[in-house]
Amino acid sequence: MYRVDRLPGGSYVRYPTTVENEAAGAIVNGAATGAAAVAGWLVGSSITGMRSLARNFQDRRMQAAAEAMETAATAEQFDRLVGLAKDFGSHYPGQLLGEFYLAVALNGTGRYDEAITVADRAIGLGLDETEARGLRLEAYEGKGSIPGLLEEWSALIHHQDSLVRNTALLARARVLESIGDFDQALDDANRSISGLPDHVAYHVRGHIYESKGELEKAIDDYSRALRIVPDQQEVLERRATAYDRLGRTEEAQADRAHAEWLESPARALGEARAFLDQLASEGVLLRLSASGNRIVFEGAPMKREHIPRYEQLSGDLLQVLGGAGHPPG
């Protein structure tokens, strides 16, 4: 299995991972950016599955057409992908690949209702229901449809994989928080913490407490998140805001000063170099793509606990890998 991540500038990178890493990465993204990131994970995983499916085609022209669709999808050339997917469907009717990529393309061009229709149709051709939910989540996020998002996350809460269930709980909590249903949101966050008490769950619950005006509880949860994974800039800034609202000015200033220090370019690049060395010692090899704007992972899968750090340092890793002073891996 491979993970697909969106990098600065909009490109994607794919690297080997485990199911556990997939879910962990989605939970991390979900806390930071909401439904779109987790939907992107589900769709990215689906693209990998479609690639495997295309390899089984005996018709070389069919294989080439499938590769062209994958290339357009990963490059986010959605207008082009609409044409490629429709052309594929006309030449090879009833093939899942064409319908899947057409749904991806329609989402990418903002035609969300059509994307939902095509995703539903693709289920009849063999698309996994969870992968279809990823396509629908992207569409509902694009439309700003709260009922649609709640429906999809509520279904994923019953997923057989516990990490996916926790992802869905946190994502639904964020949606509920956005409409002011703080008690239900808090219930979801508590359920997630009971199953997986990680830094993301505490961050999400802290945000809900802050929205409810329970600032001391929010600070406690932000502090828990920082004890599990230190130096999270967003969490520091949220805690600073809570301190300010309580009139604890010195503590707020200390958190903001720490957050600003974390943005120091020299410090970030130094941390990126150290992180690369750590990964290399574990057999995880990184290199820059030929285009120079993507990180390519090789060797051993990244450990789950490294995923938040990788996402935090991704832009700095690109800079370090692009420099002559530090050989990749």
pLDDT tens per residue across span 228-272? 988 888 899 999 999 999 999 999 999 999 998 887 777 778 888
Mean pLDDT for the stretch of residues 110-136: 92
Q: What is the DSSP string of 76-132?
A: T-HHHHHHHHHHHHHHSTT-HHHHHHHHHHHHHTT-HHHHHHHHHHHHTTT--HHHH
Average pLDDT over all residues of the chain: 81
Beta carbons within 8 Å of 27's beta carbon, 6+ residues apart: 38, 163, 166, 167, 170, 196, 198, 200, 201
β-strand pairing of 12-16 with 284-288: unpaired
pLDDT at residue 37, rounded to an integer = 52
Per-residue pLDDT band for 103 (boundaries 50, 70, 90) equals very high
Q: What is the pLDDT of residues 150-196, one digit of tens each?
A: 999 999 999 888 878 888 899 899 999 999 999 999 999 999 999 88
pLDDT at residue 328, rounded to an integer = 33
Q: How many residues does the chain have?
A: 329
pLDDT at residue 75, rounded to an integer = 82
Per-residue pLDDT band for 38 (boundaries 50, 70, 90) equals low
Residue 33 in this model has a pLDDT that exceeds 60: no
Q: What is the pLDDT of residues 46-91, one digit of tens each?
A: 666 676 666 767 778 888 998 899 888 878 899 999 999 999 999 9
Q: Within 13 Å and on the Cβ side, how many CA atoms surround 139?
A: 26
Q: What is the pLDDT of residues 168-180, one digit of tens each?
A: 899 899 999 999 9
**Separation of alpha carbons 65 and 85, rounded Å:** 9
pLDDT at residue 89, rounded to an integer = 93
Q: Can you list the domains of the chain with their CATH numbers?
A: 197-263 (1.25.40.10), 269-322 (no CATH)
Least confident of 6-15, 78-87, 266-275, 304-313: 6-15
Task: List C-alpha distances in Å: 46 to 53, 135, 178.
Answer: 10, 10, 28
Apex CA 204: angle with CA 251 and CA 21, to 5°?
115
**Separation of alpha carbons 76 and 70, rounded Å:** 10
Cα 294 vs. chain centroid, distance in angstroms?
Answer: 16
Residue 131 in this model has a pLDDT that exceeds 70: yes
**Separation of alpha carbons 220 and 81, rounded Å:** 47
Give the 3-state secondary structure of residue 285: strand
